[in-house]
Every structure is written in structure tokens, then in C-alpha cells.
Structure 1
Amino acid sequence: MLPDTRLTRPYEHIAVIGGGAWGTALAAVAVRAGRDVRLWMRDEQVAHDIASGRGNTRYLEGLELPVGIRPTTDVDEALAGADAVLLVTPSTTVRHVARRIGESAAPGVPIFVCAKGIEAGTGMLMSEVASEAAPGRVIGTVTGPTFATETAAGHPTAVTVACTSGVRVPPQDRAATRMAISLTTGAFRPYVSNDMPGVEVGGAVKNIIAIACGILEGAGFGENSRAAIITRGLDEMKELAVGLGGRRETVTGLGGLGDLMLTCSSRQSRNFSYGFQRGQGLNDADVFEGRAVVVEGRHNAVTVTDLARLIGITMPISEMVRAIVADGRPIGDAFAQYWASPIRAEPRALDLEIAHPAIEAVTERFEYLNA
């Protein structure tokens, strides 16, 4: 007989800090799950639109939201009475916002960081950043293969919820389990994990791999090319996760492989779309018609490879993307260097490395991308 879910106490009052597309989508999920939800955002007009029933007109235009989301531009008001917080701001603001939450939220309230990435300069995962900025708090994450528009619209969606709460706490009482129950609806299905590094690495690396896949599709290559990049990109995820104390099998779950497949296969992904436009020959200034669009993979390409270099992990696809988006290397040259790297075995137990026998042919194959 399965345990009675009533033994696991949901968080009844949830503060969602960040009123972008994903923050709004998670607020919608929590309301549908029966929670009391306050949603903080900076934009007063968007807050007014949500309160008046018009939805998030800036980030989820035309999408009807469930009744019950209480928007505010006052962070203290959002946090008042909350027994759990979903932090859903860009990765570059997590330290500042987590510190603010730590100062204002009631003692014992956990923070679930829904941003993905690695902090520049420190090499910290987002959970580590939040833990340092808000000491003494239980820190968790909600991550997985999700597009905000589909989640907000109620499409069937699965995610992983992980947290740092100790092994001495029974599994049904851990913060991750309680948040999973708090967000479960007829369409939104969470899974629970205790492997924070394994879960978070996937979210940081998948955006980089998506840029590489987008470049290849934009350049006219097909499914073979994308499958190769996704598969070898997954291997890079696993190596970094293990290097940070995570488990390889975690990376084959929703937060790793699942998120990787989604982000690398659709132009709904800003990272894939950015890569696609670069593969078509556009430069940074011209992508997205010159609009300022947040492409986390450009930032992640630097922070992830900085961390990998620091701990002695080799990540050739991530290095290739960094060379293109941060170092200004021509796309054709960067891809040729990767594709002409030595021939190696897939099982790491088989120690094999042979110089590529057709380097000139590889160079010729990719050189047109430099035009």
C-alpha cells in the first residue's frame, strides 16, 4: 500500500519572487494546486494587468491565468506569511535577491531557486549562491524540461524538485517532497531528488548545447548532427556533475537529459533560436532583430567552462560555443576544431586516442560557415 499523501504537509502559502514568464507560470501552477500565492515583480503595469484579469501581458501575452494569483511590487508584502519561496529571477540577480529574501522571510522558510546557471567569478551553482547569501536556509530547486507558455497553459509537464535538507529528515518531510506535493496538479507532475549538483548542472549546461544545436540547424545541417551534439553534450553534463559531487544517473533525468532534449529541439528556446540565427550568418548585434533578449547560454558558456577548467574537466562542445559567443572565433573554425579532435572511445574504461585522419576534409566541410 502506498503511503498516505496526507502525511506530507504541503506549503500552503507560497511567495513567487520574479514575475517573468517562468515565475508567472509557476504561480499559476501553485494556484491550480490550491495554494495561496503572491507573485512579486518590478513592473507595476504587469502587476496591474494580472490583478485585473488580463494576465501577464508582457511575458505571456494572450494566455489566460487562473484566478487567485496575487501580484505585488512590494517584496516584503510578497514574503509576508509565506512558508516557502520560489526564487525565479535571472541567474545574475540570484545573490542579491536571495539576500533580500533571507532578510525578510520568516525564519525557517525554505528558498527554491528556479534560476539555472553558474555564477561568474565564484564558480558557484545557484543553490550555493543562495545558501551563501541567505545563510541558515534550506535551499532547493525546481527544474526540468519546461516552456513557460505550455506550463502556464496547463499542458502536462514534469519537473524535478531537489533540496539540501539533511538525510536525518524522513523523506516525506523533506522540503523537496513538501514542495513537490505543493505544486502537484492534474497536469503538473514533480519528481523528488536529493542530488543538487546533478540536478543543477543540467540546467546550466543545456543552454550551451542548445546554442550549438541551433547553429548547426541554422547552417543547414540535419538530425544526425543534432543527435551527435546532444549525446556528446550529455556526456559533458555527466562529467561536470560528477566533478562537483553529483551522480551520473541524475543527469539522465528530467533536469538533465529531459531539459537538454527540449531546449535543443525547439525554436521556442531562446538559446536554440539564438544559435539558429548565428548559424544563418547573423552576428550578435543583429539576432532577434536587434532586440535585447536574455540568452543565458552566452553567459553560461563562460561560467561553465571557467569552472570546468578550474576542476580539470574537459568540455569540448562547451568550449567550442564559448569560442564563438565570447571569444569571437569564426563559427566554421570553431566547429572544425571540434569535429577534427582525436578519435576516442565512448566507454571511458577503454583508453584510446587517435589523431583524426581527415583534418583537412573537416576544415573544408565547415569553412563556408566563416563567410
Structure 2
Amino acid sequence: MNTWQETSRVRVGVVGGGSWGTALANLLAGKGYLVDWWLFEPDLCRQIEEKHENSIFLPGITLSNNLRPSNDLLHVVGHKDLVLVVVPSHVMRHVMQQIGDRLSTDTILVSASKGIENDTLMTMSSVIQDALIGLDADRILAISGPSFAVEVAKGVPTVVTVAGRDLARAEFVQHLFATPFFRVYTSDDVIGVELGGAVKNVIAIAAGMVDGLGLGLNTRAALITRGLAEIRRLGHAMGANPGTFSGSAGLGDLVLTCTGDLSRNHTVGKKIGQGMSLEQALEDMRMVAEGVKTAKSVYNLSRREKVEMPICHAVYHIIYEGLSPKDAVYQLMTRDLKNELEEG
């Protein structure tokens, strides 16, 4: 495997042409790597080739000439040192099943997707390993943190974490992505980093509902605080390092998505809080709000692990069972009084 000092010769493939995939592909291309980049939509691929802009998912950003867009998935992932996967969580398994036979034996797979599969309740790294039978788990890493795509694309200082079971590979990926505006920390807590990145989207929907109801900053601060407690409890039950949730992939990402106007999940929640149905809230949204599907996964995962997650359960009941956001707030506020450090 290459050491980080040899990154100029790294062969890179990026799978996924949404805003986050575009931003990360362009970041790597901007560092001088020739990046083969898979996009699902043929029209988008042609547009990027002609105009060097992803006007659908990341408009206004001029893309590097080192990006080589393609609709040929197997070409993009074949013979690569690193493949970055940035697809919606609900299509991760399908995409992985298509590429399995084309991966080199030492290819590193980095997931930048944030979600939990509905049927299996697996995080994305587990889905990848399950779909690519025989793949060494040490070759699968996850990158997460407070990082709106458009700000990364504009060079706004950003901090993220890359997690992998093998420290050498994590450090390799760290140096591959790092720039003066994109700082990367390493971690060996893959499950913690992935849970932080997935569950925060559900809490962000709740925060949006709070704002849509016009409940104020006190309520939002309380929701973020108790939401973090829920993420930490689930992480503890699943073997994560509790310190992860105080870092960029935990608290950092949670604060960003619960407060930032660019958050798709917050936007969906706000519209629901204002009285829209889920269908109406999603009607004009081209990009995926991962928290909608993840709400169902977290609801079932917390029940399986016997972890109290009242905010996440409330979001599930609002989205899938028609509970009123106002009634949900009342139910949360009138639960049995407890010591703050108790479960629930």
C-alpha cells in the first residue's frame, strides 16, 4: 500500500455525483489527482464535461479539469488505490454489489455516505462489507464531520474525521484529503463515527420542526443537548467510544445540521413543523434528506438494542404515523422527571 508521502501517484475513483460527492471529488482533483468520477445521470455527466459545473447539485462551483466524469461504474472503480463512495444510503448495497468483481485486492474503500440501512439496520461500512463478500474490514473506512458541501467547495475551513480499524490506512486517507482548508483527524472508532453521522440527521429533522413551530432558541438548544445524549446512548450499546460523540463526527456534525440553513434534514423538519406533510416537504427537493429513511432505521435499531431515544422515536411517529409535532413536544416535555445522567 502507498504511504502518504506517495499520494501524488494514487489512483482515485469517486462514486456519486450529489453535492457532497461533487465537493469531495473536486477537492481531490484540486490537489492534482486525476479523479475518475461516476455519475448516475448521463445528462449530468455530459453537462459537467462541457461546462465544468454540476448545476443540479452544486451550482456556481467551477470544477477542476482533473475530474473525469463517466457513466461507466466499473471503469471508475477498476484498478484504483482508493474508491470514495458517496451515494444515498438506500442504494449503497446495490452499487456495491455491482462493483465487487472489479476492485483491486488492495483497494481502500472510503464511505462518505451517512445513513443506516432500513432492512438490516447496518451502518454503511457494514453494508459494504456484507455486499462485498470476503472484503477485509480493515480496507473500509468512513469519513464524517460538520461539512456542508458548498462550503467545502468554496474552501471554507472545515474539520472532519476519517475512521478506520487500520491506523496506517486511516493516516493514508487523512493525508490524501487534507488541505489548508480541509483538516482531517483520524479515529479507529468506525461505528461511532458512522452512528454520529447518521443519527444526527434524525435530530436535525426534529430541530427543524422546533424552528417550524416557532418555539425559540431555548427549545432548540435543549433538543440538541438531549439529542446528543440519545446518540451517545446508542453508541454505547453498540460498542462505540463515547469520546467520539464529543468530536467533529458527533457534536460538531450535530450542531451544524441542527442550526444551518443549508441542512436538508433541518429544512424538511421545518416544513413539517409549519404544517406540511412529508410528501409536501420533499416535493421540491432533488437531493436526499437521509434523516427521513434513517428515522425508521434508528427507531428499530433502538428497540433492538433496548436504548431509550425519545426524540428519535417522536420523529419516527411524526413522519410515519401522523403524530402532530405539537403533540410530540408535549409528550417529550411531560415525560417522567429524571436525573440528567440517567438513561432516557
Q: TM-score, normalised by structure 1?
A: 0.87
Q: Counterpart amino acid of 1:178? A: F
Q: How many angstroms does 1:248 deviate by?
A: 0.8
2:224 matched to 1:240?
no
Q: Return the alpha-carbon distance in structure 1 between the equivalents of residues 286 and 24 of structure 2.
A: 24
- The aligned counterpart of 2:131 is 133
Higher relative helix content: 2
Q: 2:197 aligned with 1:203, yes or no? A: yes
Match of 2:256? 262
Distance 2:4 2:23 in 1: 27
Counterpart Cα distance in 2 of 1:164 and 1:96? 24
C-alpha separation in 1, matches of 2:126 and 2:5: 26
1:175 maps to amino acid: R
Determine if contact 2:57/2:287 at 8 Å carries over to the other structure: no
CA shift digits 1:125-174 (9 cap, x unpaired): 11111011113241111111111111112211111111133xxxxx4xx2
Matching of residues 88-107 of structure 1 within 5 Å: 88-107=86-105
What is the Cα deviation at residue 78 of structure 1? Answer: 0.9
Aligned position for 2:220: 226
Residues in 2 aligned to 1:323 and 1:331: alpha-carbon distance in whole angstroms: 9
Residue 140 of structure 1 aligns to a residue in which SS? strand
Aligned partner of 1:309 in structure 2 is 303
Deviation at 1:33, TM superposition (A): 2.3
Counterpart-to-counterpart distance in 1, 2:192 and 2:325:
30
Give the drift of 1:292: 5.7
Q: How far apart are residue 9 of structure 1 and its match?
A: 4.2
Q: Does 1:51 align with 2:45?
A: no
Identify the match of residue 346 of structure 1 among 336, 340, 344.
Answer: 340
Q: Name the aligned partner's letter for residue 83 of structure 1.
A: D
Q: Distance in 2 between matches of 1:346 and 1:193?
A: 29
Asked if residue 15 in structure 1 is aligned to residue 13 in structure 2, the reply is yes
Q: Deviations along 1:75-134, whole A, 9 cap, x unmatched?
A: 122123311110110000111112223221111202111111111121111111101111
Write the distance in 2 (CA, Å) between the matches of 1:298 and 1:21.
18
Please give the secondary structure, in 2, of the residue aligned with 1:85. strand
Paired residues of 2:89 and 2:113 also in contact (CA < 8 A): yes
Q: Give the AA of the match of 1:108.
A: D
Structure 2: distance between partners of 1:237 and 1:88: 23
Shift of 1:40: 0.4
SS across alignment from 1:210: helix
CA displacement, residues 161-214 of structure 1 (integer Å, 9 cap, x when unaligned): 11133xxxxx4xx21111111111121111101001110111111111111111
Aligned-pair distance for 1:67? 2.3
Specify the SS of the correspondent of 1:185. Answer: coil
In structure 2, give the amino acid aligned to 1:124.
Answer: M
| Local SS of the residue matching 1:45 | helix
Distance 2:100 2:309 in 1: 35
How many residues are matched?
339
Tell which deviates more after alignment, 212-221 or 51-60.
51-60
Equivalent residues of 2:4, 2:171 under 8 A apart: no
CA distance in 2, matches of 1:154, 1:148: 10
Q: Percent identity?
A: 38
Whole-angstrom distance in 2 between the partners of 1:264 and 1:291: 18
Q: Is the Cα contact below 8 Å between 1:9 and 1:178 reproduced in 2? A: no
Superposed counterparts of 1:158-237, under 5 Å = 158-165=159-166, 171=167, 174-237=168-231
Gaps of 5+ in 1: 1-5, 166-170, 354-371
Q: Is this contact kept in 2: 1:33–1:184, CA < 8 A?
A: no
The within-5 A match list for 1:113-132 is 113-132=111-130
Say if 1:101 and 1:71 are closer, same or farther in 2 by CA, change over 3 A: same
Give the TM-score taking structure 2 as reference length. Answer: 0.94
**Structure 1 residue 47: Cα displacement:** 1.4
Residue 7 of structure 1 and its aligned partner are, at CA, apart by 6.1
CA distance in 2: counterparts of 1:233 and 1:7, whole angstroms: 37
Contact 1:298/1:326 (8 A) holds in 2: no
> 1:303-349 CA distances to partner (integer Å, 9 max, x unpaired)?
0110111011110100011110111112222221111111111233x
Higher alpha-carbon Rg: 1
- State whether residues 32 and 185 of structure 1, in contact with CA within 8 Å, keep that contact through their aligned partners in structure 2: no
Q: Closer, same or farther in 2 for the Cα pair 1:28/1:293, shift >3 Å? A: closer
